[in-house]
Each structure stands twice: as structure tokens, then as C-alpha cells.
Amino acid sequence: MNVRLRISRFKAGDRKRHFENFEVEVEPGATVLDALLSIRRRLDPSLVVRHSCMHSSCGTCGVRVNGREVLACDTKLASLPAGKQIRVEPLRGQRPVSDLATDMVDFYARFESAGLPLVRTAEVHAVEPPDGIKSFGRFENCIECGLCLSACPISRWSRSYIGPAALAAAARVVAEPRNLGLGPVLALASEPDSVWRCRDAMQCTVVCPSAVDPAGALLDLRRHVAARGLKRLMRRGA
């Protein structure tokens, strides 16, 4: 199968980005990442792409394909309009490294400022765990890919907005506090640049490759924040 890609290019020192067209032969069933790696290998070794696990579990290969945030490793070329040129651009709202690679430092900074753990292990209670294990543990769903932040129209215009991924992490703490105190999390969620900045565009949930549903999590968090505010008001009234 022959595919045509229009790839956003940028090298340190460039004044601005430009697009470059490539045509490459791929196997049936190939993904956007397969095509990008094939271009790097056969046509242009200077193409910079982030990737690691190749199966939507590490979250490093987030890009925009035809304007939509996706994981390149999880996007089959056959699922895109046949015969049409495929536009590939880096995620928005991150510092550029080169070409399609961005530096995720600002993404993580939003979590760090919130003092939130990202990938912690959750517990699975459904079945009987083996001797010596209290309950089965599992990593939470978020793979820190940053697609939600790139797709969020509020995050795009406001760098101070804490954003969907960090709010989803906050909602996880509220849903399952374990040994973390709720106070700081709810206080964070009550701030002006937090849950009330969201305008329910729902794009975060639409693009999430890992079914985290940040928009739904944010709605839950709003309920908690509102209930907390109401309680305070009533106390003041009494």
C-alpha cells in the first residue's frame, strides 16, 4: 500500500515550521507510526518522532493526524480516507523539540504543581488474590500522552488552566483517596483556573486513547467542589 504524508517539520534554529511531503510504501495493516518510521529509515533519517512501546501503552507517540489528536502507533492508515494525503503535526501546547517531537515538561508541570501522583497503582477487588497479596494492584489508565491537553480549547488559550489530565488525576484521588488527604485536592479544584474554567467541549474525552474520560471526571469533581462550597455557605449562615 502506498501512502502520502504531509509532515510538519521544525529544526532547532528554524524561524518557523514548514510542511514536507513524503510518499512511502507500507504493509497492509500498518499504522501512522509505521509509516513515519519507514520514512525515517528509507527517505529522511533526520525525521524526529517520539515512540516507545508500539501498542498504546506508553503514550509517547501522540501527534495530530488530519487535525485530530491520536497515538500514531494506534492509528491504522487504512482507517484514514483512502488515497488522500495524510497531514501529521505535533501536539499543541507543548514546547517543540523537533519535527513531531514535543517536550512534555509543561504537561508534567501541571501535575507537579498540583502535587498529584500520575500513574499510581489502583486496586482490583473483584477476585480472590493469591496468598501474600492483599489485593491485586493495577496501573491506572492514564498514559500521560497529553492528547487531552492538545485537544482542549481552553488549555490552548490559557496556560494557567490546570487542564483535563491533571483534573482527571484529581478526580481519581477523590474517588479513591487511599492514604491521600482530600482537602488539598478539592482546594486545588476550587481555584479559578480549575474545574470552572472548563466549557464542556468534551474534546479531552473524545481523543483519550485510554478511556480515562477526563470530561466525566471533571463533572464529578465539580459536584464535590460545589457540595464543599455549599457546606461552607450553610456553616456561615448558621
Partner 1 sequence: MAAGGAPMLPPESGAPHVLIIGGGGTGGALAHDLTLRGLRVTLVERGEITSGTTGRHHGLLHSGARYVTTDRAAAIECSAENKILRRICTGSFEENDGLFVAITDEDAAYEKRFLEACWECAVPARRIEREAALRMEPGLNPDLKFAIQVPDATMDAMRMPLRFFATARCNGADMRPFTEVVAVTMAGRTVGGVRVRDRASNREYEIGADIVVNAAGPWAGKVAALAGVSVPVAPSPGVMVAIRGRLCNMVVNRLHSPADGDIVLPQRQLTVVGTSSWLVDDPDDLETPPEQIEAIVRESGALVPAVAKAEIRAAWSAARPLIGGSGATTGSGAASGESATGTPAGHAGRELAREWRCFDHAADRTPTEGFMTVAGGKATTLRAMAEGTADAVCAKLGLVRPCSTNDVVLLRHTAWYSA
Q: Which residues contact 228 (CB under 8 A, 6 or more apart)?
A: 186, 190
Least distance between partner 1 and beta carbon 105 (Å): 5
Least distance between partner 1 and beta carbon 59 (Å): 8
Nearer to partner 1, 112 or 232 (CB): 112
Q: How far apart are CA 217 and CA 164, in angstroms?
A: 9
Least distance between partner 1 and beta carbon 97 (Å): 6
Q: How far apart are CA 131 and CA 126, in angstroms?
A: 15
Q: How far apart are CA 129 and CA 139, in angstroms?
A: 16
Nearer to partner 1, 129 or 228 (CB): 129
Please give the distance of CA 108 from its chain centroid, rounded to a whole number.
Answer: 11
Least distance between partner 1 and beta carbon 86 (Å): 19
In a 13 Å sphere around the CA of 196, the CA atoms on its Cβ side amount to: 11
Least distance between partner 1 and beta carbon 186 (Å): 22
Asked whether 96 and 10 are in contact (CB, 8 A), the reply is yes
Q: Which residues bind partner 1 (CB under 8 A)?
A: 11-13, 27, 29, 31, 41, 45-46, 48-58, 60, 73-74, 97-98, 101, 103-105, 107-109, 111-112, 118-121, 124, 127-133, 136-141, 143, 210-211
Least distance between partner 1 and beta carbon 234 (Å): 39
Return the axis-axis angle of helices 214-237 and 164-175, rounded to nearest 10°. Answer: 60
Nearer to partner 1, 30 or 198 (CB): 30
Nearer to partner 1, 129 or 216 (CB): 129
Nearer to partner 1, 190 or 210 (CB): 210
Q: How far apart are CA 152 and CA 77, in angstroms?
A: 25
Nearer to partner 1, 10 or 161 (CB): 10
Least distance between partner 1 and beta carbon 138 (Å): 6
Nearer to partner 1, 23 or 44 (CB): 44
Got the DSSP string for 115-167? T--SS-EEEE-SSPPPTT-SSEEEE-S-----HHHHH-HHHHH-TTS--HHHH
Q: At residue 166, what are phi and psi to the nearest 5 degrees?
A: -65, -35
